[in-house]
Structure 1
Amino acid sequence: MNIAIFGASSKLSIELIKQLSEFKITTFGRTSTNIYFNAEDLSSSSIATLNKVNYDTYIFNLGFIQSKRLLDQEDKDIYKSLCINALFVIKSCEYILSNNSKARIFIIGSESGKKGSFDTSYFLAKSMLRAYTKERQLISPEQQLLLISPSTISDGKMTTDRADVDTIARYKKQHPKKRFLESIEVASFVADIIKNPSTYLCNTEIELNGGKFSRMTY
């Protein structure tokens, strides 16, 4: 199996590479060890060049969140957020699905696409991924399109970089599991699905939230 991973520097991607080490992996990122790409470049020629090789499996793990509310974001900030968090992924998927009849695509999203975020640009972009995954009809019966949306990942950069430590601690205490996810948990789950050859599970979002949105009490 040949696997392409877009967004290779995060802790989650590093764990995924370990979990999928028996396969041939090509990484796309912003360092010299990867095939370079710029998620703000949505030109058709760039998308086509990046995806000129047909892979069996594609993993998109991109994220950009801001500490400013939407009203304080400049137009360039909003454009950057929408590109990185949704539009680059969606346009890439359009190209892949149109040119690779056996493509299996796995997008790492966020629960923010469901519940919202301090950064409204981020929330709107992730909600776009939810709508796209559910509504984009696949061309071939061998294709697969899935969105995996984790809750807070304790060792993820978006969590470790946060300054509001007290808020994070309160969220953890209120969580049904009394803890957050770890990157290795998400990576193991995604790897298990990829290793399963069935493509019947498709056009859906898998939420990894530990039951935090359950409302019925006992």
Structure 2
Amino acid sequence: MTFSHTSREVAKQQMLHQHLRARGIADERVLAAMALVPREQFVPENEAQRAYADEALAIDCGQTISQPYMVALMTQTLELLGHERVLEIGTGSGYQTAILAELGAEVYSLERHAHLSEQAGVRLRTLGYTNVHLRVGDGSLGWPEAAPFERIILTAAARHCPPALWQQLAENGLLIGPFGPTDQQILTIIRKIDGRAELQPSIGCRFVPLVAD
């Protein structure tokens, strides 16, 4: 069944107003980015009609594209002003990457699965993003030659923040990720203040695990 322009716009508006605004997403820049990026281009073709539903969807390599609310919440929490250098761990479909790029950040995104990174690169280039750098590799090691990063976002679960990522976070920078055991994590905000970690737990969540070498 074809996902018509009208159906897409209705689904998008429902996402914006019912799934995002009504649940506390108030950053207008984040909402504008979520409205602009065509989420249906980042999901499998047979799932296009569910692209704007508030649910995670399966993609290749046993991974998922996070539900819109989680993408919006994590992005809002990053407090992006438009000039930050951002490290993303877990490119996946490239959807979160596109949202970050839309907000004007310089985005460095690492993905463990070469197939996913290649697919995401095609999508992002097709949409015209030039402020995105992709690499295949172990996300727990970060991207040291591009550090420091004002913001780091993990879209895969780890029991604790990988030490290399903490080292690559700039002073006064902010890192967000799902930390905890495999079956349930807590979305946690970590700020680097005078070289120390200030932790702020957010909500319970469940992400696919971070794959390290």
Give the TM-score taking structure 1 as reference length.
Answer: 0.36
Give the TM-score taking structure 2 as reference length.
Answer: 0.36
By relative contact order (CA 8 Å, sep 6+), the higher-ranking structure is: 1
Higher-strand-fraction structure? 2
